[in-house]
Amino acid sequence: MKKRLFTVLCAMALSFSLSTECFASISSSTKNVPKTCLSKSSLVDEINSEQNNDNLSEDVINASYEESNEKYPFKKLNKLSNEEIIELSTKISWKDIPDIFKYNEDTYEFYSNKNRVQAIIDGLYQKSCTFTATDDNGIDTLVEILRSGFYLGFYNDSLKYLKDRKFLDKCIPALIAMENNPNFKLGKEGQDKVVLAFGKLIGNASCNPEVVNKSVAILNQYYDEVNQYPKDKLKGDAVLKIMSQITYDIDQYCYDNNIRDGKNTPWTGKIDNFINTISKFASITQITDDNGWLINNGIYYTAKLAKYHSNPKILHKVLDNCLKTLPNTSEQYITTLDLLKSDFNSKDSNGNNIDVDKIIEDKKNAFLPKTYTFDDGKMVIKAGDKVSESKIQRLYWAAKEVKAQFHRIIGSDEPLETGAADDVLTMVIYNNPKEYKLNRLLYGYSVDNGGIYIENVGTFFTYERTPKDSIYSLEELFRHEFTHYLQGRYLVPGLFNQGDFYRGNNTRLTWFEEGSAEFFAGSTRTTVLPRKSMVSGIGQNEEERLNANSLFHSSYSDGWEFYTYGYTFTDYMYNNDHKLFKDLVDSMKSNDVNRYDSIIKRCSKDKNLNRQYQKHMNKLVDNYSNYTIPLVSDNYMKKYDSKNLQTVKKDIENAMGLNNSKIVKERSDYFNTYTLRGTYKLDSNNGEFNNWNKMNKKVNEALEKLNKLPWKGYKTVTGYFVNPRVSSDNKVEYDVVFHGLLHHNDNFIEEPTITLTAPTKGNAGEKIKFTSECSTDDSNFSYVWDFGDGNTSNEKNPTHIYKTSGNYSIELKVTDSKGFEIEKSSEINIFKILNGNPVRETEYNNGFENANEINLNDLVSGDLQGDDSQDTFSFEVTKPDDITITLENSSADKDNFNWLLFDAENTNDYLAFPKNKMNQLTKTITIDKPGKYYLVVYQSSKEKNNYKFLVEGSFVETPEVNEDKNTNETDENTNETTNTNHDNNKHEDSNETTNANHDNSKYKNINEEEYNDDFQCANNIFKNQIVSGNLDSSERGDTFSINALSAGTINVILENSNMDSSTINWLAYNSEDTDNYIGYASKNDGNKFSGSFKVNKPGKYYIVVYEANGNNSKYKLKIDGDIESSSKSDDKDIVKEEKNDDSFDSATKINTTATITDTLNNEDNKDIYYFNVDKTTNLNIKLKSLNKLGVAWQLFSEKDLNNYIAYGSKSDDSIVGTATVEPGKYYLLIYKYTQDNGAYTFTIK
């Protein structure tokens, strides 16, 4: 059987990341990998494709970066001496070498000089001896230059000396020198980069037992300290490279020397410590999103390296133990099974057989318990239990729309072969990206993508996704993959990579297959529409786009932008050059490779074709706002009365004027459908393309006529026409095919119509109203709005405030009481309104020496025209901080306008330049030191253009607690006192309006709540709060947490009431590293300890207040910065546990808007809360233990306190559950079931 092996939806792969915290996963066993893949030629880490960020394709793609300086191609490097190259490596990145890893005359000249390569190796040795914790000494760049040479040496005989292992061994002294350097450890970025380069070099050079054994220190350090940096990708990459590339080199040696059993190698029995250390990673039993990749790799390399151990059975037992300790539905558990099968003959360490195949089948059924059949079994969908039935049905109808438009274009619907695997199309859809990762283990196919079609088994695999997982919806991806199925079944003969079209050039059709799949994903019942999600990827100008010639010769190794331009070229042909489209299609159907190559050769040289193609892209870009993402209509999900089959036949015949028609009924799980096939003759023969246009119009007119008939089921009909021919009466005749709904089955549930109403544009910082309407009673519906910026709402008609400008996708998911889901989406453009103190630029200000002086937060306006093409401004930054520069201009061509930021101390090199965001030139820059800075606004045209800009930042130093405040007036909330005679005009002689910063009247006083002595039980502090607390000899530390909303500076002021103020202080920590503080009190003024610290990104941070000597101390803590505001509007939302709340009678009253934190111990082992509900609603209850406390919850109604009405189930680290309740009073019981003491928190929404 001729079948294409697979087609990967690589475009979707870029939009999908299994997890930003999941650095790696393990591929299938390498026993099935072609030998050519197990060579030094491959820079792709075939063992750990997801962790690897420096494989060949990315090396080539990312050979330049945004703010690089001068480029150093090999032509320039060849003119330098060896010493100059080695010195240069400390000043440039390897990304500044544009032709690295590319074979050309210049790279040949460079690497054919053996003395030069040896000198670089020697230079690497010297640098390996002298790098420091903060300076990698250019090692990263030198290593990449060497790796490039070894790669080119493998593929090119003219450099074959570079693949000789004896030559590769020349790098071993440099590797050992790195390891002997005391700075060779994980730590600062420079150190991590050296460790990463060390592992990468081994993968392309070689190693020996000494190199391997010395690297154990890195693995042990990572094992001991992994919890300190669970999301530090650079460290994770470095450790993984050591494991993977050492294993890779040893396996390569065995392959070259035909050693299959691992015996009699230089490493056998000599690297036990290395292998044992890796096995420690395999023995981690607590799997999290952060360490799952590490456990995976520990298991994988434990299995792969076992045969080199002096006692392989020790490692075999490690894998046995993994099956005992790991959750049996985890990726790690199934990985272990896969490796026991591939490397240990499906036996445990005692020689007992393990029925791996049966276990795998059981896992398939567990993750894909649902099976749906359509069209008498010709289409089968296996899905996870979280993939809604309505979405499954929509996918079926989407397939019919794509199929109709595909056959209209290619002109035939006869399969290239019969009796093939794809006679039945099977689709496998996992619940989410995490479960999709298991597809590699369950079915054996790649998962580093958004979906994959395996043609020789007629199956494609994908997963349900949220907007956070992918910019493409499940239906969009389905449509793309379904097109690949149609291509292989009806268009391209032969096996993928084996058919005639792949011989000699396996990328010949790449652009067409992927581009047309993206194109047909936009199919509707009557046409193919532009997809907004694809048009958004088109470059704004011709320089940013692929031209036609580059597109035709694209391959997967070139990156993924050819998907976008393959799509746009297909759209161009469909709308402007139908003849070219048909010529390409006909060459494929007839398996005429020479004809296809001739067409491509001609088109590649056709400058006019490229101009027309560029014009078409301009049109698409200009009309972007008018486009949508074509998805199936809600008409498919309505329930219609049954229709007689013969009546349907007659109606369609009348609408189209068909002859010789036959209709066939087809059965599916939820409904029955029909396919009607007949013939139609055109009145006259007006030429091939005029005939096509006339038939296309005629079929669409027939569909419109059917739409207008009383029976609304006709709105599900699709139609196409194929097989044009001249009839015996010299007329042009076509076969015409219609498909549609006949009637629904009893198990079909009509989907309510949901209308999402949202504005198409709005302003950042302003409230925006979103509404939804339902066609049926929605009292039992739940709503989940996703606003596209990381925020959600469960209200039916919410309001939302966007903080930053941008284009956002809005998703609404509505679920009824039976679990039936409806999804709607929309888009909104959010614009940033520039507000500030109005200032007008004044001439002459064209240079640094005559720059206009402005202040931060001034709204500056000006214009440029003629020879006045540049305006210069200066401003002062008084403290290290983040500033944001935003500029608007009136230029019709936005590429003509720009700005640059300079430090006054170095006006030769700019600090930053902007990005275009919503027609504004904007960027946030971290300013490390106070001083003067210049902003240069310029344009490249002579036309007059107006502009305005805003430089946002902080004016003044760290605000302080007003020194005049004392403790004489009692405050009702804190028992502290304040001075009512404080002079608010103390700073009247200052030019800065600081009195607002010192006025604490806007702050709310709250008390710290015990227990808060550690990070897990920290009290939350919100914006505009002052916390009062106490410390003594029994409790010498209190912990508080804040949520920083943006990168910037946090200011902390601690006021101590003790006379001995030196005994109390504070420290700041990042939640991702609670072993090393990031801030402390840098200023002591009497009883006040103030200071600031910088946060590099939004997130959670801790402030620890501590008493050094154990004295009794009262304090006030105030934190200022861009931190989260309290969601509690007044004191009624502040919940304090009643002392005796362990019965229904003494329950603590709460509001469902509050977040409640409390503790349980052996004396107080349960808490009961009550709340009132005033209307029928859905409750979502989430309980979380803040340490190892084992807790659970039950919900009771006041009407029956003997029987709970809902309870929580474990989900990740929380206990969650839902309940639909009527108006009344309800009680929530929280209880512990372990002997541990600790804290918990819960929310009710």
**In the chain, what are the domains?**
7-11+368-622 (3.40.30.160), 634-744 (3.30.980.50), 754-831 (2.60.40.10), 837-905+916-947 (2.60.120.380), 995-1120 (2.60.120.380), 1135-1244 (2.60.120.380)
What's the confidence (pLDDT) of residue 16? 26
Reply yes or no on whether the pLDDT at 1141 is more than 80: no
The residue among 416 and 999 whose pLDDT is bigger is: 416
What's the confidence (pLDDT) of residue 650? 96
What's the confidence (pLDDT) of residue 1009? 76
SS (H, E, C) 134-163: CCCCCHHHHHHHHHHHHHHHHHCHHHHHHH
pLDDT in tens, 69-106: 588 999 999 999 999 999 999 888 898 998 899 999 99
Per cent of the chain over pLDDT 70 is: 87
What's the confidence (pLDDT) of residue 809? 86
Specify the length of the chain in residues: 1245
Positions of E strands within 623-689: 659-667, 671-681
Residues forming a β-bridge with 667: 672
Confidence at 775, pLDDT banded by 50, 70, 90? low
Reply yes or no on whether the pLDDT at 760 is more than 50: yes
Q: What is the mean pLDDT of residues 63-69?
A: 38
What's the confidence (pLDDT) of residue 718? 98
Reply yes or no on whether the pLDDT at 30 is more than 80: no
Reply yes or no on whether the pLDDT at 880 is more than 90: no
Three-class SS state of 551: helix
The residue among 984 and 551 whose pLDDT is bigger is: 551
Query: Could you give the C-alpha distances from 837 to 309, 844, 853, 889, 1072, in angstroms and in order?
Result: 72, 22, 14, 18, 39
Three-class SS state of 1030: strand
pLDDT in tens, 596-646: 999 999 999 999 999 999 999 999 998 888 898 999 998 999 999 999 999
Q: Which helix or strand (DSSP H or E) is residue 332 part of?
A: helix 331-344
Reply yes or no on whether the pLDDT at 948 is more than 80: yes
Confidence at 1140, pLDDT banded by 50, 70, 90? low
Extract the tokens encoding 1008. 């710290």
Extract the tokens encoding 886. 């935003």
pLDDT in tens, 269-286: 999 999 999 999 999 999
Q: Which residues contact 469 (CB under 8 A, 6 or more apart)?
A: 16, 17, 432, 433
What's the confidence (pLDDT) of residue 39? 31
Pairwise CA distance, residues 289 & 299, whole Å: 16
Q: Which of 537-551, 850-864, 1083-1097 has the lowest mean pLDDT?
A: 1083-1097
Reply yes or no on whether the pLDDT at 61 is more than 80: no
Extract the tokens encoding 278. 């890796």
What's the confidence (pLDDT) of residue 894? 64
Residues forming a β-bridge with 460: 427, 453
Q: Which of 434-438, 793-797, 1097-1101 has the lowest mean pLDDT?
A: 1097-1101
What's the confidence (pLDDT) of residue 300? 96
Confidence at 234, pLDDT banded by 50, 70, 90? very high
Per cent of the chain over pLDDT 90 is: 50
Positions of E strands within 767-867: 767-769, 771-774, 782-786, 792-793, 799-801, 806-815, 821-831, 837-840, 852-853, 858-864
What sign has the CA pseudo-torsion 345, 351, 355, 359?
Answer: negative
SS (H, E, C) 186-251: CCCHHHHHHHHHHHHHHHHCCCCHHHHHHCHHHHHHHHHHHHHCCCCHHHHHHHHHHHHHHHHHHH
Q: Which pTM value belongs to this model?
A: 0.64
Extract the tokens encoding 518. 């993206």
Reply yes or no on whether the pLDDT at 289 is more than 50: yes
pLDDT in tens, 688-721: 999 999 999 999 999 999 999 999 999 999 999 9
- The CA-to-CA distance between both ends of the chain, in Å, stands at 57
What's the confidence (pLDDT) of residue 756? 85
Pairwise CA distance, residues 428 & 449, whole Å: 14
pLDDT in tens, 799-818: 999 988 888 889 898 887 76
Give me the chain's average pLDDT, please. Answer: 84
Confidence at 1019, pLDDT banded by 50, 70, 90? confident
Q: Phi and psi of 64, rounded to 5°?
A: -145, 155
Q: What is the mean pLDDT of residues 1060-1087?
A: 76
**Is the Cβ–Cβ distance between 54 and 245 less than 8 Å?**
no
Reply yes or no on whether the pLDDT at 305 is more than 50: yes
Q: Which residues contact 333 (CB under 8 A, 6 or more apart)?
A: 322, 323, 326, 327
Q: Which of 769-783, 931-945, 1005-1019 has the highest mean pLDDT?
A: 931-945
Reply yes or no on whether the pLDDT at 22 is more than 50: no
Confidence at 839, pLDDT banded by 50, 70, 90? confident
What's the confidence (pLDDT) of residue 363? 94
**1046: DSSP letter:** S
User: ∠ CA(48), CA(51), CA(53), 5° rounding?
Assistant: 115
What's the confidence (pLDDT) of residue 1100? 86
**Is the Cβ–Cβ distance between 1029 and 1007 less than 8 Å?**
yes
Reply yes or no on whether the pLDDT at 405 is more than 80: yes
pLDDT in tens, 160-188: 999 999 999 999 999 999 999 999 999 99
What's the confidence (pLDDT) of residue 995? 35
What's the confidence (pLDDT) of residue 753? 76
Three-class SS state of 446: coil
What's the confidence (pLDDT) of residue 1156? 83
Reply yes or no on whether the pLDDT at 1002 is more than 80: no
Confidence at 314, pLDDT banded by 50, 70, 90? very high
Confidence at 998, pLDDT banded by 50, 70, 90? very low
Reply yes or no on whether the pLDDT at 499 is more than 90: no
Q: Which of 49-58, 793-802, 930-939 has the lowest mean pLDDT?
A: 49-58
Reply yes or no on whether the pLDDT at 1187 is more than 90: no
Reply yes or no on whether the pLDDT at 1114 is more than 80: yes
Reply yes or no on whether the pLDDT at 774 is more than 60: yes
Pairwise CA distance, residues 1090 & 958, whole Å: 8
Three-class SS state of 1160: strand
Pairwise CA distance, residues 674 & 643, whole Å: 11
Confidence at 1108, pLDDT banded by 50, 70, 90? low
Residues forming a β-bridge with 898: 938
Report the DSSP pairing between strands 852-853 and 870-877: parallel
Q: Which of 179, 476, 481, 1107 is catalytic?
A: 481
Which is nearest to 1047 in space by CA: 952, 924, 1230, 1136? Answer: 924
481 is catalytic: yes
Q: What is the mean pLDDT of residues 464-487?
A: 88
Confidence at 777, pLDDT banded by 50, 70, 90? low
Query: Could you give the C-alpha distances from 84 to 78, 87, 139, in angstroms and in order?
Result: 10, 5, 15
Q: What does the CA dihedral 365, 366, 370, 371 come to, rounded to 10 degrees? A: -10
The residue among 141 and 505 whose pLDDT is bigger is: 141
- B/e letters for 657-694, b = 16+ CB within 10 Å, e = fewer, are ebeebebeebebbbbbbbebbbbbebeeeeeeeebbee
Residues forming a β-bridge with 1230: 1167, 1193
